[in-house]
Structure 1
Amino acid sequence: MSLIRAFPGLRPADGRAEDVAAPPYDVLSEAEAREMVKNRPWSFLHISRPEVDLPAGIDPHAPEVYAKAAENLAAMRREGVLTTDSRDCYYVYRLTMGAHTQLGVVAAASVDAYDSGRIKRHELTRPDKELDRVKQISALNAQTGPVFLVYPSDERIDDLLRGAAEGEPAMDVTASDSVRHQIWVLSDRTRITALTLLFDELPALYIADGHHRSAAASRVAAQRKLANPQHTGNEPYNYFLSVIFPHKQTQILDYNRVVRDLNGMTVSQFLQAIGERFQVESVDEPVKPEQTGHFGMYLDGSWYRLVLPESRIPSLDPVASLDVSLLSHEILEPVLGISDQRTDSRIDFVGGIRGLKALEQRVDSGEWAVAFALYPTSMNGLMAVADAGQIMPPKSTWFEPKLADGLVSHLLE
Structure 2
Amino acid sequence: MAKIVPFKAVRPTRDKVSLVSCRSFEEYTTAELAAQLDFNPLSFLHVLKPAYTNQEKVSSEKRYRQVHQKYQDFKAENILVKDKIPAIYIHKIVTKTQSFTGLIVGTSIADYCNDVIKKHEDTIDFRVQLLKDYMKYSEFNTEPVLMTYPDNKDIENWIINRTQNLADFEFSTTKKEINYFWKIEDPKEISWIQTIFENIGALYIADGHHRSEASKQLLEENDNPENKAKNFLLSYLIPENNIKIYEYNRLIKDLNGLQKNDFIHKLNSVFIIENKDQQPFQPSEKHQFGMYLDNEFYSLILRSEFCDFNTSLESLDAQILYQTVLFPLLGINDLRNDERIEYISGKHSILELKQTIDEGEFEVGFILFPSTINEIKALADANLIMPPKSTYIEPKFRSGIIVYEL
Normalised to the residue count of structure 1, the TM-score between the two structures is 0.93
Residue number in structure 1 paired with 2:11: 11
Compared CA separation, residues 174 and 375, structure 1 to 2 (3 A): same
* Residues 92/60 of structure 1: CA separation in 2 closer, same or farther (3 Å cut): farther
Aligned twin of 2:288: 294
Secondary structure of residue in 2 paired with 1:58: helix
Q: Does structure 1 conserve the Cα–Cα contact (< 8 Å) formed by 2:88 and 2:183?
A: yes
Q: How many pairs does the alignment contain?
A: 405
Does residue 350 (structure 1) correspond to residue 344 (structure 2)? The answer is yes
What displacement does 1:32 show? 5.5
Choose the corresponding residue for 1:204, options 196, 202, 205: 202
| Whole-angstrom distance in 2 between the partners of 1:367 and 1:2 | 47
**Aligned equivalents of 1:396, 1:105: Cα separation in 2:** 25
CA distance 1:30–1:222, change in 2 (3 Å): farther
After TM superposition, list the pairs within 5 Å mapping 1:346-385 onto structure 2. 346-385=340-379
Aligned residue for 1:372, secondary structure, equals: strand
Q: Is the 8 A contact 2:104 2:234 kept in 1?
A: yes
Q: For residue 96 of structure 1, what is the amino acid of its counterpart? A: V
Q: Structure 1 stretch 206-215 or stretch 96-105: which is displaced more?
A: 96-105
- Taking the aligned partners of 1:110 and 1:28, their CA distance within structure 2 comes to 32
RMSD of the alignment, in Å? 1.9
Alpha-carbon contact 1:313-1:326 (below 8 Å) kept: no
Distance 2:301 2:164 in 1: 47
Separation in structure 1 between the aligned mates of residue 206 and residue 319 of structure 2, nearest angstrom? 18
Aligned partners of 2:290 and 2:298 also within 8 Å? yes
Task: Check the 8 A contact 1:143/1:409 in 2, yes or no.
Answer: yes
Shift of 1:38: 3.4
Provide structure 1 residue ranges, at least 5 long, that are not aligned to the other structure. none
Q: Mind listing any 5+ residue stretches in structure 2 that lack a counterpart?
A: none
The alignment partner of 1:7 has SS state of coil
User: In structure 2, what is the equivalent of residue 397 of structure 1?
Assistant: 391
Deviation at 1:60, TM superposition (A): 8.4
Determine the structure 1 residue equivalent to 2:143.
145
* C-alpha distance after superposition, 1:361-411 (max 9, x if no partner): 221011000011100011111011001111111001101231111111111
Q: Is the 8 A contact 2:251 2:344 kept in 1?
A: yes
Indicate the residue corresponding to 1:282 in structure 2: 275
Distance of aligned partners of 1:36 and 1:375 in 2 relative to their CA distance in 1, 3 Å threshold: farther
For the pair 1:40 / 2:33, whether they are aligned, the reply is no
Secondary structure (helix, strand or coil) at the match of 2:390 reads coil
- Asked if 1 retains the 8 angstrom alpha-carbon contact of 2:249 and 2:366, the reply is yes
Distance (whole Å) between structure 1 residues aligned to residue 43 and residue 395 of structure 2: 20
TM-score (norm 2): 0.95
Instruction: Report if aligned partners of 1:179, 1:401 keep a CA contact under 8 Å in 2.
Output: no
Q: Where does residue 65 of structure 1 map in the other structure? A: 63
For 1:365, the aligned partner's letter is E
Please list the CA deviations of residues 315-340 of structure 1 after superposition, one character each: whole Å capped at 9, or x if unmatched: 44111111101111111111111111
CA distance in 2, matches of 1:386, 1:19: 38
Cα distance in 1, alignment partners of residues 280 and 57 from structure 2:
41
- The whole-number CA distance in structure 2 between the counterparts of 1:323 and 1:273 is 18
Distance 1:198 1:301 in 2: 54
For the residues of structure 1 that align with 2:5 and 2:197, how far apart are their CA atoms? Answer: 9
Q: In the alignment, what sits opposite 1:173?
A: 171
1:85 maps to 2:83: yes
Q: CA deviation at 1:41?
A: 1.6
> Identity of paired residues, percent?
29
> Relative to 1, partners in 2 of residues 1:169 and 1:3: Cα closer, same or farther, differing over 3 Å?
same
C-alpha displacement of 1:61:
6.2
